[in-house]
Amino acid sequence: MAPTSAAKRGRHGIKSEPASIGAVAERAGVSIATVSRVLNGVAKKASAETVAKVRAAALALDYRPSSAGRSLRQKSSRLVAVLAANLANPAMAAIAASAEMALREAGLVMVLCDTHDSPELQDEYLREMRAQQARAIVLLGAVASPMLDAMRGGPTPIIFVGRRDPSGETGRFVGIDNVAAGHDVAAWALARGLRNAAIIHGPLTSSATRDRVEAVLKAYCVAGIPVSSSRRIAPMGNDHLEMGFNGARVLSEQGDDLDLIICASDLIAFGARRYWRESAKRQAAPRLIGFDDSPLNDWVAPDLSSVRIPYRAFGPAIAEQIVDALGAQKKFSETLPHVIITRG
């Protein structure tokens, strides 16, 4: 049988040309894409038999991916991956839209994935983006995961957006100062005489949520009116809308004379608003304030005050961080301004 063109041998049996990925695919009886995934460690859906065939074929042909070719692709790649924790959240969708526009203007192409706040899914996308040699990866709401630990500090720049690096390390970051935002919300409420406050929040594993909640609680404590533990409602449900609805129900059943509920996100506030609109008790609803000032607020929640983040500023800041990272500069953080929008 004549040797394949990708692995022709010279007079002394030495290969005159390196084996190609196509030759490996042909020998293993699979597609080139499957070979690429197996050899890059992202073939989660491939059977053990397929993985064994690919590795055996690569070994038999002495196939080695070209490091020079990989470096060339790395430098010329236009692909930027944006991995968002929850695209059902209008705030994250608005940031992603801003990023897409800024990256396109910078000559880059954005790929958008929803990790659903799952470490396993985040890792799957991280593996795939590494295999695709993305120029940079933007984590819009990162969670701690093994693959993130493996890639941190590697050749692919990682930009954390909204939430800081869950490891606590000083990674590249774009977002607001959530500690300052939490303090500002408490000051806003106290200036209006809203002293009987409760707070409903999502998982404190998110640095954004944790910073907001801790800052609010600290400010109320300093003011001499600490928020009791019964008025600090931890996550009750699978998403922020459920958390808000269920949290409002718990607070309502406690019978406390609340004048304010601070919601760690606008989606939580949406859920709380719905509970009081549907409550059989028909009691007067406390005032609500949220965070993010969702683009939907003016349309669906005209009475909801909120901390507004500058959605349009995120995209240019993210693009600048990518360019800065590729140039090995040291501008690791871009803190964007926030403002409280008072409604109702």
* CATH among 1.10.260.40, 1.10.1740.10, 3.40.50.150, 3.40.30.10 for 5-65: 1.10.260.40
**Taking 60 as the threshold, does the pLDDT of residue 2 lie above it?**
no
Question: What percent of the chain shows pLDDT beyond 90?
Answer: 65
Q: How far is CA 100 from CA 95, 161, 300, 313, 316, in A?
A: 9, 14, 26, 12, 10
Q: Kindly report which listed range (181-185, 220-224, 275-279, 324-328) carries the lowest average pLDDT score.
A: 324-328
**How many alpha carbons fall within 13 Å on the CB side of residue 97?**
11
Q: Which CATH architecture is the domain 178-308 placed in?
A: 3-Layer(aba) Sandwich (3.40)
**Taking 50 as the threshold, does the pLDDT of residue 189 lie above it?**
yes
How much is the pTM?
Answer: 0.76
Q: Are 260 and 286 in contact (CB under 8 A)?
A: yes
Residue type at position 29: G
Per-residue pLDDT tens digits for 156-177: 999 999 999 999 888 899 999 9
For the chain, give every domain's residue range: 5-65, 77-176+311-337, 178-308
Per-residue confidence (pLDDT) for residue 210, from 0 to 100: 97
Q: Which of 309, 311, 307 shows the shortest CA–CA distance to 342?
A: 307
H or E segment at 200?
strand 197-200
Per DSSP, 4 falls in state P
Q: Are 91 and 240 in contact (CB under 8 A)?
A: no
Per-residue pLDDT tens digits for 21-70: 888 889 999 887 788 778 766 656 778 888 889 889 988 888 866 543 44
Q: Does 77-176+311-337 match 178-308 in CATH topology? A: yes
For the domain 77-176+311-337, what is the CATH superfamily, name and number?
Response regulator (3.40.50.2300)
Per-residue pLDDT tens digits for 148-158: 999 998 889 99
Q: Kindly report which listed range (128-142, 229-243, 281-295) carries the lowest average pLDDT score.
A: 281-295
Pairing of strands 79-84, 136-140: parallel
Q: Give the three-class secondary structure for 51.
A: helix
Per-residue pLDDT tens digits for 90-126: 999 999 999 999 999 888 999 999 999 999 999 999 9
Per-residue confidence (pLDDT) for residue 39, from 0 to 100: 76
Give the helix ranges, DSSP H, for 40-89. Answer: 48-60, 67-76
Q: Which of 314, 316, 303 shows the shortest CA–CA distance to 93?
A: 314
